[in-house]
Chain A
Amino acid sequence: MSAKRWAPLLSAVVVVLLLAAAPGIVSAFMVQFLINLFMMAILAESWNIIGGFTGYASFGNVAFFGIGAYTTGVLLTRVEFPFALALPAAGIVAMLFGAVVGLPILRLKGHYFAIATLGVAETMREVVYNLEFTGKGTGLVMPIVRNPLIFFYSMLGILGAVTLVNWWLSASRFGYGLVAIREDEDAAAVMGINTPLYKTIAFALSGFFTGLAGGVYAYWITFIDPEAVFKVIITVQLLIMAVFGGTGTVLGPLLGALVLSAVSEVLATQLVTLAELFNGFIIILVVLFMPKGLMDLIRQRGFSLRYFAKNLREYRI
């Protein structure tokens, strides 16, 4: 075990400990911002498992988020489960969904997979719209909790766990297997990797953490409806955070979530539409100028305009 391997983990642990002390110091507004930031970071890191390491670009991870939110929502309101049980259920249901849906759609590649996941997310929204026990289009109202600390620490805990999983993937037999699938799936299969199993586990893991975040979100925001928890803009945000930071790296998605959440927050105080417009332009600029993300930029050291120019020229026709 080299120092290089442990560095990201150590820095992450330090950051998490610092953050854990934050609610005592910062303002109530800042706490809410941090909860949202953690949530986006969880979503980006979860996506990274399937999209970054495995190379299967899911455009429908919001389906897991919505399923998690609705699992917790239904359990809290209809069955009156305690949150401590309703939250893990969100992760487990989303994980099972990932495994069941993943088995068939992970056989698809490239565009087909991406659009199939987009279709799964849209289908789930429509399904929830039409189901009686999810409250159809009117949504669910959760009991109100005044103290945000439970949400703060739940989100932080999940973020810590998903980061740990990403770190484990970055240097483990299983993680290397996923990367092998990303680089050349046929070769990976020839090398004896059970590719369907690996891919499905990665997809289910991604679903597990995304579902947990959805569960906390439902209780935190107290009101959910199909439009709010299945909306495409959530997929947009988590994707650009992961790509902006650097896909397939442990810290990249965290970094992306941090930078873009902060900018979004500032813009959203002006106009919500403006923040979403910004997302669109960021995607375009990132794809054109720094498709490998912030982590790659940092690794370059002494970067210059030439770095951006090189990226711009690389794939031009």
Chain B
Amino acid sequence: MLTLQVLINGILLGGLYGIMAIGMSLIWGVMNIVNIAHGPLIMLGAYVTYWTFTLWGWDPFLSLPVTIVALFVYGYLLQRLILNLVVRAQLFLTLLLTFGIEVAMVNLARIFWSSDLRQVTPTYAAANFSVGGLTIPYVRLWVFVTTVVLSVVFLLIMERTRLGRAIRATAEELRAARLTGIPVGHIYAVTYGLGAALAGAAGAMWGMLFPVTPMMGGALTLKSFVVAVLGGLGTMMGAVVGGLILGLAESFSSTFIGPTYPNAISFGLLVLILIFRPTGVLGKGEGR
């Protein structure tokens, strides 16, 4: 029974990791940027939700669209005004630039909002229900359902709309995309905006389960990366599967090995995956 409970917990958490990683994977796949500022985007989303909840009493689930739009605009501008300037440079420079953005965002958050631990606590935060001896918190279940809905919506945008086709075309062949009249600078910015929006949504929901601080993003950047690589880059399904794997690994290790180990496990997992299977579980093609 304990095992089943741990399994459920892992799956519910895995959904959240999944949408973090979809954003990471998208930005990476389309623009070849490993977005080290991904964690801070999640952090920003958490704070948007926190403030709308604390100042105006907005329900964290209902304010999700606001958080998503805010992060989309932020991400769009970041890419349009800054990242587009170096997007064709060698990997090290784009990596370093997002690193710089990460440091700047975290420290601005520390200055404006202090390093205090904060939490989004709607009235139903502690409510749960039991099914056959299993305890399932409502918040975790809704978070999971929301992540599934967001993933599906995102998939539809990518597969069924003109915008999605433009993004995929740009990812495949930049020059050809430009020749066919796709405004690539704009498409890049939209791509980053979408990634940021997903990260923000993940952050909004993360804040209902875990404390929010300016420094929360560092570990989440790594986890998003772990998940994106685990599942295999560029495949959206891969990110979802990777999210579930990580959620389960953490849930099981913290129950059966010790609560201080999950981070060590996930980062250790990252290094091992990179060494033995850099193309991911579902991935294909080049990796090394």
Binding site for B on A (CB under 8 A): 57, 59, 104-105, 107-112, 114-116, 118-120, 122-123, 126-127, 129-130, 232-233, 236, 239-240, 243, 273-274, 276-277, 279-284, 287-288, 291, 312, 314-317
Contact indicator per residue, chain B 224-257, by CB within 8 Å of chain A (1) or not (0) = 0110010000000000000000000000000000
B137-145, B156-164, B200-208, B266-274 - the one binding chain A = B266-274
Binds A, one of B46-54, B64-72, B104-112, B118-126: B104-112
For B96, the chain A residues whose CB sits under 8 A away are 57, 239, 243, 283, 287
When distances are taken between beta carbons in the complex, the residues of chain B under 8 Å from A104 are 275
Residue numbers in B under 8 Å from A315 (CB-CB) = 85-89, 93
| B97: Cβ under 8 A from any A Cβ | yes
- B residues apposed to A, CB below 8 Å: 28, 34, 82, 84-89, 91-93, 95-97, 99-108, 110-111, 184-185, 188, 218-219, 222, 225-226, 229, 258, 260-261, 263-264, 267-268, 270-271, 274-275, 278, 287-288
Interchain residue pairs A-B with the least CB separation, the first 10: A283-B100, A280-B104, A280-B103, A126-B264, A315-B89, A277-B107, A284-B100, A123-B267, A119-B270, A111-B34
A–B pairs, 14, beta carbons within 8 Å: A107-B288, A108-B278, A112-B229, A112-B278, A115-B222, A119-B267, A119-B274, A127-B264, A233-B103, A236-B103, A243-B96, A284-B100, A314-B89, A316-B88
Determine the residue in chain B with the shortest Cβ distance to A123: B267
Q: How far is the CA of A277 from the CA of B219 in the complex (A)?
A: 19
Closest Cβ–Cβ distance, residue B174 to chain A (whole Å): 8
Distance from B115 Cβ to chain A, minimum over Cβ atoms (Å): 9
Instruction: Report whether over half of chain A's contact residues are helix, strand or loop; otherwise say mixed.
Output: helix
Known: A122-B263, A126-B264. A284 touches B82 (CB 8 A): yes
Establish whether residues B97 and A283, one from each chain, have CB atoms under 8 Å apart when the complex forms: yes
Most buried by A among B93, B218, B226: B93
Question: Are B95 and A114 in touch, CB under 8 angstroms?
Answer: yes
Smallest distance from the beta carbon of A118 to chain B beta carbons, Å? 7
Question: Which residues does chain A contribute within 8 Å of B87, judged by CB atoms?
Answer: 315-317
A283 contacts which chain B residues (CB < 8 A)?
96-97, 99-100, 103-104
The residue in chain A whose Cβ has the minimal distance to the Cβ of B99 is A283
Residues of the B chain whose Cβ atoms lie less than 8 Å from the Cβ of A120? 267, 271
Give the interface centre of B258, B268, B274 by most chain A CB atoms within 10 Å: B274
Residues of A within 8 A of B111 (CB): 273-274, 277
- Given A112-B274, A317-B88, are A280 and B264 also a contact pair (CB < 8 Å)? no
Is A57's CB under 8 angstroms from B92's CB? yes
Bound-state Cα–Cα, A109 to B279, Å: 12
In the bound complex, what is the Cα–Cα distance between A170 and B218 (angstroms)? 35
Chain B residue nearest to A126 (CB atoms) is B264
Contact present for B99 and A236 (CB under 8 Å): yes
Once the chains are docked, how many angstroms separate the CA of A115 from the CA of B273?
Answer: 12
B93 to chain A, nearest CB (A): 5
> A280 touching B274 by the CB < 8 A rule?
no
In the bound complex, do residue A108 and residue B103 qualify as a contact, i.e. CB atoms below 8 Å apart?
A: no
Who on chain A is nearest to B107 by CB?
A277
CA distance A314 to B111 in the complex (A): 34
Contact status B288-A108, CB under 8 Å: yes
Contacting pair A317 B91 (CB below 8 A): no
Bound together, the chains give a CA A222 to CA B271 distance in angstroms of: 32
State A115–B274 Cα separation when bound (angstroms): 9
- Please give me the residue from chain A that is nearest to B187 by CB atom: A317
The chain B residue sitting closest to A237, CB to CB, is B103
**Using Cβ atoms and an 8 Å threshold, which residues of chain B touch A111?**
28, 34, 91, 95
